[in-house]
Structure 1
């Protein structure tokens, strides 16, 4: 084989094959990412609400 033929085969192999998919762009992956984010937001909101309720409780029972 000549050098030119080898280069042509390599270029065709790179351009002809689609890149390997890791699943990061699939719809299922995106849905799971959104679900995880929603669960984290819900958990964080409840923790914050519990902290605010604790502050109100402590404020009501503080020595005046």
Structure 2
């Protein structure tokens, strides 16, 4: 596995995880920490979906570096 492919996969995985957390906080399903400004805020649902989608796209892009 090349360094570029490994780095892209790490960034993609982090984007997917963070996106899911943002969706959870935006919907109120993951209200941690309790003082977070993101809880029950609809824009964070959209931001989370977009970030997770970007992570999924990066996972597919990382397949280009296979050899």
TM bin (shorter chain) = 0.3 to 0.5
Q: State TM-score, norm by structure 1.
A: 0.43
Flag the structure with more relative contact order, 1 or 2, with Cα contacts below 8 A and sequence separation at least 6.
Answer: 2
Please say which structure displays the higher CA radius of gyration. Answer: 1
